[in-house]
Chain A
Amino acid sequence: MADIATTKPQASEAAPPGRVSGAAWRILERLLSLAILLLVIEGGIRGFDVPAYVFPTPSSIAVALYEGVVNGNYLSALAVTLTEILVGFTIGSTCGILLGIAMVQVPVLDRIVYPYVVGLQTVPKVAIAPLMIVWFGFGISSKIFIVALTCLFPSLINTIAGLRAVDSDRIALITAMCGTRTQLLRYVQLPNALPYIMAGLNTGIVLAVIGAIVGEFVGAKTGIGVLILQANFGLDLASMFAALVLIAVTGVVLNLVLRLIETKLCFWSGKATK
């Protein structure tokens, strides 16, 4: 049988000399458009004489950001918030995944637990945040709890969907090999659910950032949320926006990291196999 070895295109995508390569160009594209946007805003605010307490100029935000970072305020606050996000996210997502597996494996559990989970998700986290402060105090643990609660749902829902979305042929394959339900879970359902779970984690990490800030608004000693509140009280809009920029960048970076992990783990996802 003529087996044609698959050949990879030999660096055909490398940029010709003297030209910017694709990836570098895409980054440049984004930076350029951002710079233009900021310039337009800056010009608009200065041109129309908008007062600083209504909307700060991008340059004043940049200055506030720079000062906050240099004097260490922002970084220590960010460290606290980031800890809340990461620990809460890990706990919440792990619980979501494990609970999802349990609910798919044990139908009774699904029927009993599911309404409570949906009910819990329906409750706005802001509404129960004060209670969490009462239970766990002003320290980091109350925020971790809120973040974990926020992340639980997306990872749970996606785990369940992924485990259930298994092709009947694949089930027949394992069953015909005398496979047990646990083996079906291990060899087929869990790998199959991986892209779904990663999507749930991607949603979860963004919600985790929001959860941490909401928790800090309700009661905290330090953190980016506290910085935002303080700047708000002082009508220091430049500092407030600087803190917002910091938290938005955090969210984008965390999401990016997860997406990189996703492409590594789910390399096969979307590739056609029959």
Chain B
Amino acid sequence: MTPASPARLKSSHALEVSAVGLTYRTSSGSVEALRDITLDVAEGEFVTVVGPSGCGKSSLLKLILGLERATRGRLAVGGREIAGPSRGVGAVFQAPVLLPWRTIEENVLLPADVMKLDRPSATERARALLQMAGLGGFEQKYPYELSGGMQHRAAIVRALVHDPKLLIMDEPFAALDAITREQMAGELQRVWMDSRKTVMFITHSISEAVFLSDRIAVMSPRPGRIVAVFDNPAPRPRTFADLLSPELARLSAEIRQSLDLACAA
């Protein structure tokens, strides 16, 4: 719970991606998904990747999650090279992926079960997190009894329950309507400010990226490369109304321009 300070950003990198390339080999030939990606994320930093569909954003996250091996380059979490899935990383996917036969509390405790963590203390933590996510009182409900937004919040709580250092989020709000989306982004900001996790976030929405991030990386179409990285030093907590301020409006315009350029190339 260290307060945000410029000095913190100088500390060791929570995530290092250096010169990473990924080529999928399939029966119908090979697909180069990522080319020469270099991106370092500092401890406690919120970094967002935006890019056109199919540019390899999810592929990059799969590499970080250890679900896929890089063809070239090096990836490290907390200074340690990624060799497979790690307990220090929590993941939120595009869909909530809650198991329908488990209650919300049991779903949120799934990482604790899989990682064989102490159940009573994990339960306590899960309840506190659920409360914080506005899901207090829904612990014993089943996923189908919750709205789409609530299911997404439960998925985020599940990713946080084993207290990972790094949180990976792949378009977690893409399936939601615009109003719920902004609400969820607001809550994510609050959770992030409370916990100061390192977050790697993916979205198609520029406003969401600007609202949430310390830095925004723009990717080109396949093979995905990072064409530009933008800093967003605006103070927090931010609101969506802040996006209309001259600085953030200019930042949004620059990101859009860079995206358009990348796509036109």
B79 located at the interface, meaning its Cβ lies under 8 Å from any Cβ of chain A in the complex: no
Bound form: Cα–Cα A170–B86 in Å: 17
Interface-facing stretch out of A42-50, A68-76, A90-98, A266-274: A266-274
- A271/B110 in contact, CB under 8 A: no
B100 located at the interface, meaning its Cβ lies under 8 Å from any Cβ of chain A in the complex: yes
Chain B: CB-nearest residue to A184: B114
Bound form: Cα–Cα A183–B96 in Å: 20
- A177/B151 in contact, CB under 8 A: no
B240 located at the interface, meaning its Cβ lies under 8 Å from any Cβ of chain A in the complex: no
- B97/A173 in contact, CB under 8 A: yes
Contact bitstring A243-274, B, C-beta under 8 A = 1, else 0 = 00000000000000000000000001101111
- A177/B99 in contact, CB under 8 A: no
B145 located at the interface, meaning its Cβ lies under 8 Å from any Cβ of chain A in the complex: yes
Interface-facing stretch out of B29-37, B87-95, B205-213: B87-95
A178 located at the interface, meaning its Cβ lies under 8 Å from any Cβ of chain B in the complex: yes
B218 located at the interface, meaning its Cβ lies under 8 Å from any Cβ of chain A in the complex: no
B249 located at the interface, meaning its Cβ lies under 8 Å from any Cβ of chain A in the complex: no
> When the two chains form the complex, which single residue of A174, A178, A273 contacts B98, counting CB atoms closer than 8 Å?
A273
- B137/A3 in contact, CB under 8 A: yes
- A175/B85 in contact, CB under 8 A: yes
CB contact list, A1-32 vs B, under 8 A:
1, 3, 5-6
Contact bitstring B179-192, A, C-beta under 8 A = 1, else 0 = 00001000100000
- B95/A169 in contact, CB under 8 A: yes
> When the two chains form the complex, which single residue of B89, B113, B138 contacts A187, counting CB atoms closer than 8 Å?
B113
Q: Which of B89, B111, B135 has the most CB of A within 10 A?
A: B111
Contact bitstring B138-153, A, C-beta under 8 A = 1, else 0 = 1001111100101100
A188 located at the interface, meaning its Cβ lies under 8 Å from any Cβ of chain B in the complex: yes
- B110/A187 in contact, CB under 8 A: yes
- B100/A176 in contact, CB under 8 A: no
Q: How far is the CB of A182 from chain B (nearest CB, A)?
A: 11
B175 located at the interface, meaning its Cβ lies under 8 Å from any Cβ of chain A in the complex: yes
A35 located at the interface, meaning its Cβ lies under 8 Å from any Cβ of chain B in the complex: no
State whether A268 and B95 are in contact (beta carbons under 8 Å apart), knowing that A177-B114, A187-B110, A187-B114 are contacts in the complex: no
Bound form: Cα–Cα A273–B86 in Å: 27
Number of interface residues of A (CB under 8 A): 26
Chain A hits for B9, CB < 8 A: none
Bound form: Cα–Cα A80–B138 in Å: 50
Q: How far is the CB of B43 from chain A (nearest CB, A)?
A: 21
State whether A6 and B175 are in contact (beta carbons under 8 Å apart), knowing that A170-B97, A175-B85 are contacts in the complex: no
Chain A hits for B148, CB < 8 A: 274
Chain B hits for A169, CB < 8 A: 93, 95, 97
Chain B hits for A271, CB < 8 A: 100, 142, 144
Q: How far is the CB of B28 from chain A (nearest CB, A)?
A: 19
Bound form: Cα–Cα A39–B93 in Å: 62
State whether A272 and B113 are in contact (beta carbons under 8 Å apart), knowing that A170-B99, A175-B85, A178-B85 are contacts in the complex: no
A191 located at the interface, meaning its Cβ lies under 8 Å from any Cβ of chain B in the complex: yes
- B100/A273 in contact, CB under 8 A: yes
- B65/A6 in contact, CB under 8 A: no
Chain A: CB-nearest residue to B153: A1
- B114/A183 in contact, CB under 8 A: yes
Contact bitstring A180-207, B, C-beta under 8 A = 1, else 0 = 0001000110010010000000000000
A229 located at the interface, meaning its Cβ lies under 8 Å from any Cβ of chain B in the complex: no
B261 located at the interface, meaning its Cβ lies under 8 Å from any Cβ of chain A in the complex: no
State whether A175 and B67 are in contact (beta carbons under 8 Å apart), knowing that A6-B145, A268-B144, A274-B151 are contacts in the complex: yes
Q: Which of B98, B101, B135 has the most CB of A within 10 A?
A: B101
- A174/B175 in contact, CB under 8 A: no
- B134/A1 in contact, CB under 8 A: yes
Q: Which of B93, B141, B183 has the most CB of A within 10 A?
A: B93
Chain B hits for A170, CB < 8 A: 97, 99
> When the two chains form the complex, which single residue of A5, A173, A268, A274 contacts B101, counting CB atoms closer than 8 Å?
A268
Bound form: Cα–Cα A108–B87 in Å: 32
A234 located at the interface, meaning its Cβ lies under 8 Å from any Cβ of chain B in the complex: no
Shortest beta-carbon contacts, A-B, top 7: A271-B144, A268-B100, A1-B134, A177-B114, A273-B143, A179-B114, A273-B100
Query: Would you give 6 A-B contacts (Cβ < 8 Å), ordered by A?
Result: A169-B93, A172-B93, A176-B65, A183-B114, A271-B144, A274-B96
Q: Which of A's residues lie within 8 Å of B, judged by CB?
A: 1, 3, 5-6, 167, 169-170, 172-179, 183, 187-188, 191, 194, 268-269, 271-274
